[in-house]
Structures are given as C-alpha cells and as structure tokens.
C-alpha cells in the first residue's frame, strides 16, 4: 500500500504555491500520500477538497481505531 522510503519531490512551499494556483482556477485538489495522524492538521490547513489515506490506516495495528483517530483529528481542526 505505502512505498517505504518514498519521499515527495516537492517542498511544502512548492505545494502551497500550486494549491493557490489551483484554487484561483476553481480546481479541487485531493491530498494523497504521506498523510497520517501526525500531519493531518497540516493538510487541513491547506484547504484541500479532501485527502486519501491508505497506508496510514491499513498498515496500523487496528485500522478501524486508526481511521476513527484520524477522522477525529480532522474534524477538530
């Protein structure tokens, strides 16, 4: 599901600039990859249309509990 050791070729600054361009063109952006309970707040602050989570949930010891934890964090921000 998740690629171990994979990192984004983009900096947070580059992503932020592209998100501003997309918003100005009314393009919805979904975040995918590297999103977890430890950084969901960062993604929420970027006003994405949504996020896709795979490894952060399915690779956890208890996928349902992990999903509920991430959802709770997401809703509280």
- For 20-46, the pLDDT digits (tens) are 999 899 999 998 888 888 888 887 778
Return d(Cα 67, Cα 76) in angstroms, integer: 14
pLDDT of residue 2: 65
What's the pLDDT score for residue 8?
76
**Cβ–Cβ < 8 Å for 54, 1:** yes
d(CA 45, CA 60): 24
Q: What is the mean pLDDT of the chain?
A: 86
């Amino acid at each position: 599901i998740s690629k171990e050791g994979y990192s984004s070729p983009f900096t947070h600054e580059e992503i932020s600039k592209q998100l501003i361009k997309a918003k100005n063109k009314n393009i919805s952006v979904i975040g995918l990859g590297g999103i977890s309970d430890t950084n969901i707040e960062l993604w929420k602050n970027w006003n994405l249309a949504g996020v896709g989570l795979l490894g952060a949930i399915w690779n956890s010891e208890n996928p349902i509990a992990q999903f509920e934890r991430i959802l709770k964090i997401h809703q509280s921000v």
